[in-house]
Structure 1
Amino acid sequence: MKAIRRFTVRPVLPEPLRPLSDLARNLRWSWHTETRDLFQSVDPERWAASEGDPVRLLGSVPPARLAELAGDRRFLRRLTAVADDLNDYVTGDRWYQSRPQAAELPAAVAYFSPEFGITAALPQYSGGLGILAGDHLKSASDLGVPLIGVGLLYRHGYFRQTLSRDGWQQEHYPVLDPNELPVVPLKEADGTPAHVSLALPGGRVLRARIWLAQVGRVPLLMLDSDVEDNDFGERGVTDRLYGGGSEHRLLQEMLLGIGGVRAVRTYCRLTGHAEPEVFHTNEGHAGFLGLERIAELCAQGLEFDSALEAVRAGTVFTTHTPVPAGIDRFDRELVAHHFGPDAELPGIGVEHILRLGMETYPGGEPNLFNMAVMGLRLAQRANGVSLLHGNVSREMFAGLWPGFDADEVPITSVTNGVHAPTWVAPEVVRLGARQLGDRRTEEALTVGGTERWDAVADVGDQEIWDLRRNLREQLVLEVRERLRASWRQRGAGTAELGWIDQALDPDVLTIGFARRVPSYKRLTLMLRDRDRLMDLLLHSERPVQVVVAGKAHPADDGGKRLVQELVRFADDPRVRHRIVFLPDYGMAMAQKLLPGCDIWLNNPLRPLEACGTSGMKSALNGGLNLSVLDGWWDEWFQPDFGWAIPTADGAATDPDRRDDIEAAALYDLLEQRVTPRFYERGRSGLPDRWIEMVRQTLTLLGPKVLAGRMVREYVERLYTPAAHAHRSMTPDAAAGLAAWKVRARAAWHGVSVDHVEAAVSTATAELGTTLALRVRVRLGDLTPDDVEVQAVSGRVDSEDRITDATTVPLKPTGGPDLEGHWTYEGPLSLDRTGPYGYTVRILPAHRLLASGAELGLVTAPSQGAVEGAGVLMR
């Protein structure tokens, strides 16, 4: 019989065991080995059955076992030690609190993301964006950064993946009961659940409950619309991650952004937590948070433009997509329908809202509202997630800053990192602890620092090789177990599965490939020449084996066909012991898969991988990367610790031919360089050169790929300047800046460079020469205080474009004359040899601007205004 109602019965822990509840509700257990070991000792079989989830474990342990533990003095001593350690962790000073001038750091930062990958026990992620967000929160906790995470609680999460008998992906959406997850409801002072609400067209209301997940020191607020006060449609707003049509997605993003700010205010009111000075928008999905903050300020009496400046000052926007198709865009009429007098944010004119997101630049779609464009317009500071992705982002969004070269677009880069305590295998940590001690190992994994990682040089070759073999063997056992479960789900009987006991070999070079399955990641590139792949898999002396996993989006039939193609190849009896596809890739699988692979393969279409962090996780376990030079690998690749797959980037290359060329390059690397290095033995009987590459990977890449390094960069380069800007942007300052921008834009047509002259008489000059520049400009209704006149110089290409520009401000020396001219002068040092050139330009200048490009206004001289402008140095 089916129950007519479902509810959760919580266990009553004996008083001595009450700290177990606190330990289970703080997600630090997901990366703290001692806490996990403690829970495992409660009941090893039930711990395995609960898939390592303490909340589920405690709900299943019989009262008799709990009573037994309550009288076990040895267990209680362990429990006290772990509970005390957690208390020290969440209350003691860490990196952030020990910073010089700590009072100047942000009092708090609110971090918004549509998904968070904290642990498999809280399945609220689909892929890299969510895992990155989870690692950001964990590392912020380790460093003591006062972060508040904000997201949504999806009742079905993303989806669970299985395969049909013929290898077609099938999706399943199990219902997640928040009462069975490691979250607690945020409650008002009177004990009632805390809620936020949004006004919808037609007088409807969208209400959402606030759930709290504690991630170490960091609270994560998650909004859930499945509450009884909502109508059926509104209850389903937070049903699935990245599900539904345009209006459904719009409502999710309004709830995340607008409702998220309201949830933060509620949390701070109820707990006394410091109000955030900085708001960090992780991708455009949460961009509406800026509108809510503008509405708050307008309600306090600021005009819209002034409120916009105040909000921008304290906002950081991170873009993760390298292609326009990856950005959420909505029909402008749909957006207009959900705002205004009869819907949400009635105090803000709909035209103001639309203007923030419209693609009002060459090549833009005039009727589409672009969430990334809004995110950039609402943030004074923005970044991509690797150096290469920063370049791609500046090119992609250059239309927002007309008149500036792409390399001057104010989008910087903070390369992603990964949370080492989550992704490094316990065996690797123990090896580090033997070398460094527990405390220094923890510091190496969380804070970083090359001096700690240099200790890997002292680890013996045999120890490294034994470690790698052990991790590979564990992977083989894990794969066989998952492979057997997958084949049973596909309908296979026991008699068909005997071959699985010989699937994979702990002494064979193992390649891993696991990620989402959009077409640009090229899951099936390895299949371009199947005979050649078979030769690699079945080589008599140097075989390889491949473990593949990944999910295609439910609406992406093309991605599902790629999965099916790979599965059908892996089903071939000739090779199924050497290549496997594991369905339902997620955090739990990744934590087993990544450490056990010798090679991590990544072959996207360059430059479409914004960062790609799975290879970082492999590297922290001593895995070597074999990858296209894209994302982070383009930035940090060295032949000492990996291989770069050559690419055919020419614009004229046919896509199929490009895949053929790059697949052939991949096969060549595996045949000629990778497999020989793994199987060749030195005098010691060990693969000396391979072991040295593992050592170099850990020593040189280890401190770079840490999320601790990433979060420190955010604090120092983005959060702290944003906090300073926020504090400077008083209501009067914001009103003054807004008025100045209106005046500067209105007067800019009257700004010109009328004459440029330099003291040079020939087309060549010697290195070290200093030219005296004299420039005559018109400023119209502006003054020298409103502008900066710059000399821009550097090497030039064949089209006289300056390729490595240096800018020097020029100083006013006189004016205005009777014709309205101002004179500026300054030196220009010729500090590089070769073809060299300069120009002059005028930019708006104000003390509260973060960048001279912020307004997108620039004036340069016409060619006729220049004397002696082209200088060729030899």
Structure 2
Amino acid sequence: MKAIRTYTVQARLPEELQPLLDIAMNLGWLSDPRVQSLFSRLDAHTNAGETLDPVGALYRAPQEALEHLAGDPSYVAHATELRDSLERSLATPRWFQLSHVGDLDSVAYFSAEFGIAKALPQYSGGLGILAGDHLKAANELGLPLVGIGILYRHGYFTQRLDAEGWQREYFPNLQPENMSLREVEGLRVSIEIGESIVHARAWEARVGRVPLYLLDTNIEENEPVDRLITDRLYGGDKEQRIRQELVLGVGGVRLLTELGYAPQVFHMNEGHASFSALERIRVAMSEQGFTFDEGLESIRPSTLFTTHTPVPAGIDRFGRELIERYFGRWCETMGITVDRLMDLGHEPGAPRGVEMNMAVMGLRVSESSNGVAKLHGEVSRNMFSSLWPDLPVEEVPIGSVTNGVNARTWVMREMDDLLERYVGSDWPQAAPERWLPLQNVTDEQIQSIRAAGRRRLVKFARRRIWTSMRSAGISESEAEWANEILDPDILTIGFARRFATYKRANLLLRNERRLRDLMRDPDRPVQFIFAGKAHPADEPGKRILQEVATFAHDARNRARFVYLEDYDIEVGRYLYQGVDVWLNNPIQPLE
């Protein structure tokens, strides 16, 4: 569906409030309770503290509200002091500086998506959330990390359900000038893509002390078709995907060089970034006089690959025609055949030279590889064992690093206060023995925090559904029931993930009568909140979503069974803080 074009009337920021903008431009500070408290003064007009989009809040705030705050000396002084304190913290030695011995100066982290905040909608799901929290964790630990990604002008899609509960996709036209981004002035990166030379500029986001650079081909120097390369996240066909991955991989390596980085480690977060290895091989051949095989061996020790998907169907594959179109000239320059290049992504047992598997390529060019959970490591060793035919499956060199989250992004303020009181202000990094005082926390304290989270979630769900209905043209009287759904005092179960068939979001609906009995039980009632999107091309997933949404909209169910549209980081935070039990019932080992 065609993108929505929006126009924003910006308020003029008084000079006294410049510290607010300075704070808002660093995404690593958004979860700081002091920052949230500071921006909560704008909540009456913008919901700044709830959405964690301070830059947007400043642009949306009425001029009179900004002038009022600018005229408050204590508020201005507080904002200035907080800004200065946060900036000083960027130079404070952290875990890496205090404990690391060695010469590691720079790690480059490539990912097709980064889920850092709602303020920067450049993510679709778990891969992006992990990447975003990876940057936040690197900031907190003081790791010398630099992120490389793409700026998608239309991001991922905004989800709306029609009257029949069918998912419709809309792609808003994002304005990077109104986001927590700064263009890297005077910089252009050129990439050979097919017969064209495509140019890209870079936008910089800051995640604490960690820089994230996003490549953008939507510039006047490019032909119209090339300006659309970075149009949408996971949009278009395979040809669009290979063009995007050339920008990410080849363009990303060249960008690092232009910026003066010389990373000692290149971390590829999934196969989308595997082309970065080819650019590094080209550089090694050009600068060191290596052969192709020598260039490959020279980059392998500094290359790390993380695989995420447990199903072969989830891996990018490019056919020979596309590889010849986009790498034929490259192969000639490197003195190799297209078959030799495709061997890097060849799956044993498949016909040679027909298809290039990007995950297989990532594994072949990397010294170290990992899955994202212990079980996923086992699944990956089985799935890719044919790459090491002489090794027993259990010795296949794919380890596992369990997915983690940046704790302060997700926990509610009341829980953060409790953990600071009993563990310390550095509780996310505290050693296990420091957590022992939590044994003194009473059940009443925990129940009080859980109840606060449920109340906040119920309030949010009611407001979101009411707003969605009103936006769809439903009258206030007809939408009034949305203000009465859910009960903040009963057991709440949440389901929030992509609507893929193997995740079985509709499993609960196999016995609707029994489910209604559970929800209406007079002594032990239960309620459910569902959220999630189906991939735009996943028709079976959309049908499952429609089934869940239809059940949720049924007047017999809607008080205890809710579906929240347009799942994003904001929805995820409310769900995490408010649900009592997470529901997850995929088909193993597909997740």
The code of the aligned residue for 1:112 comes to F
Tell me, yes or no, if structure 1 residue 306 matches structure 2 residue 294: yes
The letter of the residue matching 2:172 is P
- The equivalent residue for 1:40 is 40
Measure the CA separation in 2 of the matches of 1:549 and 1:58: 29
Taking a change above 3 Å as real, the CA distance of residues 169 and 42 of structure 1, as seen in their structure-2 partners, is closer
1:372 partnered with 2:370: no
Alpha-carbon displacement from aligned partner over 1:790-843 (angstroms, at most 9, x marks no partner) = xxxxxxxxxxxxxxxxxxxxxxxxxxxxxxxxxxxxxxxxxxxxxxxxxxxxxx
The equivalent residue for 2:318 is 330
Equivalent position SS for 1:171: strand
Q: Deviations over 1:372-416 (max 9, x none)?
A: 011011101000111111111111111111121111111111111
Aligned to 1:150: 148
Residues 374-383 or 28-37, more deviating: 28-37
The answer to whether the aligner puts 1:219 opposite 2:211 as a matched pair is: yes
For the 8 Å contact 2:193–2:243, the answer to whether it is kept is no
* Whole-angstrom CA distance in 1 between matches of 2:413 and 2:293: 53
Q: For 1:634-713, list aligned pairs within 5 A.
A: none
Equivalent residue for 2:184?
A: 186
Partner SS state of residue 580, structure 1: strand
Matches within 5 A, 1:255-334: 255-268=247-260, 274-300=261-287, 301-334=289-322
Q: 1:171 aligns with which of 164, 169, 172?
A: 169
Asked if the contact 1:283/1:372 (under 8 Å) is kept, the reply is yes
- TM-superposed CA distance for 1:538, in Å, is 1.2
Query: 1:644 aligns to what?
Result: none
Aligned twin of 1:205: 197
Partner AA of 2:422 in structure 1: Q
CA contact (8 A) 1:336 1:354 kept: no
Kept in 1, the 8 Å contact 2:165–2:546? The answer is: yes
- Aligned equivalents of 1:406 and 1:73: distance in 2? 67
d(CA) in 1 for partners of 2:332 and 2:88?
A: 43
- 1 CA distance for matches of 2:175 and 2:335? 37
From 576, 587, 591, give the equivalent of 2:573.
591
Question: Any idea what SS the aligned residue of 2:262 has?
Answer: coil
Question: Aligned in 2, Cα 1:456/1:172: closer, same or farther, shift over 3 Å?
Answer: same
Alignment of 1:746-825 (within 5 A): none
Pick closer, same or farther for the CA change 1:577–1:43 going to 2, 3 Å.
closer
Q: Residue 227 of structure 1: SS of its match in structure 2?
A: coil
Query: Rg larger in 1 or in 2?
Result: 1
The residue number in structure 2 matching 1:381 is 368
Q: Is residue 228 from structure 1 mapped to residue 220 from structure 2 by the alignment? A: yes
How far 1:353 sits from its partner (Å)? 2.2
On the 8 A contact 1:149/1:221 being kept in 2, the answer is yes
SS in 1 for 2:226: helix
What is the CA–CA distance in structure 1 between the aligned matches of 2:477 and 2:7, rounded to whole Å?
41
Partner SS for 1:21: helix
Equivalence for 1:99: 99
Structure 2 counterpart of 1:411, from 364, 373, 398: 398
Q: Pick one of 420, 429, 443 that aligns with 2:416.
A: 429
Secondary structure at 2:212's aligned position in 1?
Answer: strand
- The reply to whether residue 527 of structure 1 matches residue 527 of structure 2 is no
How far apart, CA to CA, are the structure 1 residues paired with 2:63 and 2:558? Answer: 46
1:364 offset after TM fit, Å?
6.2
Structure 1's 65 and 509: CA in aligned 2 closer, same or farther, altered over 3 A? closer
How far did 1:449 drift?
A: 2.1
Task: Write the distance in 2 (CA, Å) between the matches of 1:241 and 1:332.
Answer: 24
Per the alignment, do residues 506 and 31 of structure 1 end up closer, same or farther by CA in structure 2, a change over 3 Å counting? same
Deviations 1:20-70 (A, max 9, x none): 222111112322121122123256423449944222222244555545544
More helix by share: 2
In structure 2, how many angstroms separate the alpha carbons of the residues matched to 1:345 and 1:242?
A: 30
Query: Does residue 362 of structure 1 match 2:345?
Result: no
List alignment gaps of at least 5 residues for structure 1. Answer: 269-273, 610-874
Check conservation: 1:163, 1:486, Cα contact below 8 A: no
Paired residue secondary structure (2:98) = coil
- Letter in structure 1 aligned against 2:497: R
CA deviation after TM superposition for structure 1 residue 71, in Å: 4.5
Is the contact made by 1:209 and 1:223 (CA closer than 8 Å) also made in structure 2? Answer: yes
TM-score, reference length from structure 1: 0.65
> Aligned residue for 1:398?
385
Shifted more, 79-88 versus 398-407: the winner is 79-88
For 2:299 and 2:28, locate their aligned partners in 1 and report how far apart those are by CA, in whole Å.
33
How big is the shift at 1:249?
0.4
Greater shift, 460-469 or 494-503, is seen at 494-503
Aligned partner of residue 161 in structure 1, secondary structure: strand
Shift of the alpha carbon at 1:355? 2.0
1:24, 1:182 within 8 Å by CA — same for their partners in 2?
yes
Cα-to-partner distance string for 1:317-374 (whole Å, 9 max, x where unaligned): 0000111101000102211211143x68933534342221122x12567511000011
CA distance in 2, matches of 1:416, 1:348: 40
Q: Is the contact made by 1:332 and 1:367 (CA closer than 8 Å) also made in structure 2?
A: yes
Figure out how many residues of one structure are paired with residues of the other and give that number: 585
- Out of 221, 228, 232, the position equivalent to 1:240 is 232
Q: Does 1:72 align with 2:55?
A: no
Partner of 1:198, secondary structure, is: strand
SS of equivalent residue, structure 1 residue 18: helix
**Amino acid of the structure 2 residue aligned with 1:219:** P
Amino acid at match of 1:37: S
- Distance, in Å, in 2 between the alignment partners of 1:470 and 1:68 is 31
Equivalent residue, structure 2, for 1:250: 242
Quote the offset at 1:457 in angstroms.
1.3
- Report if the CA contact (8 A) 1:258-1:291 is conserved: yes
**Is 2:583 aligned against 1:601?**
yes
**SS of aligned partner of 1:339:** helix
Quote the Cα distance in structure 2 between the aligned partners of 1:417 and 1:37.
Answer: 26
- TM-score (ref. length: structure 2): 0.95
Q: Which string of whole-angstrom CA distances, capped at 9 and with x for unpartnered residues, describes residues 541-590 of structure 1? A: 11110000110000111111001101111122122101011110000111
For 1:344 and 1:198, locate their aligned partners in 2 and report how far apart those are by CA, in whole Å: 15
CA RMSD in angstroms comes to: 2.1
* 1:517 to 1:32, Cα distance in 2 relative to 1, 3 A: same
User: Cα–Cα, structure 1 residues 154 and 57, in superposed 2: closer, same or farther, change >3 Å?
Assistant: same
Matches of 1:305 and 1:538, distance apart in 2 = 67
SS in 1 for 2:488: coil
CA-CA distance at 1:219 after TM superposition: 0.5
Q: Deviations over 1:410-440 (max 9, x none)?
A: 111111101101000111112223334xxx2
- Partner of 1:578 in structure 2? 560
**Secondary structure of 1:418's match?**
coil
CA contact (8 A) 1:198 1:344 kept: no
Give the residue type in structure 2 aligned to 1:293. Answer: R
Alpha-carbon separation, structure 1, partners of 2:350 and 2:334: 32
State the match for 2:87 in structure 1. Answer: 87
The whole-number CA distance in structure 1 between the counterparts of 2:541 and 2:178 is 33
| Cα deviations by residue, 1:231-280 (Å, 9 ceiling, x for unpaired) | 11111111111111111100001110000111111222xxxxx5210000
CA contact (8 A) 2:37 2:49 kept: no
Shift of 1:17: 3.1
Q: Tell me how far apart the structure 2 counterparts of residues 65 and 495 of structure 1 sit (CA, whole Å).
A: 32
Show the counterpart of 1:672.
none
SS in 1 for 2:334: coil
> What is the aligned partner in structure 1 of residue 427 from structure 2?
444
SS at match of 1:528: helix
Deviation by residue 1:510-536 (Cα, 9 ceiling, x = unmatched): 000011111111110111111211111
Give the direction of change, closer, same or farther, for the CA distance of 1:153–1:83 in structure 2 (3 Å limit): same
Tell me, yes or no, if the aligned pair for 2:249 and 2:274 is still in contact at 8 Å: yes
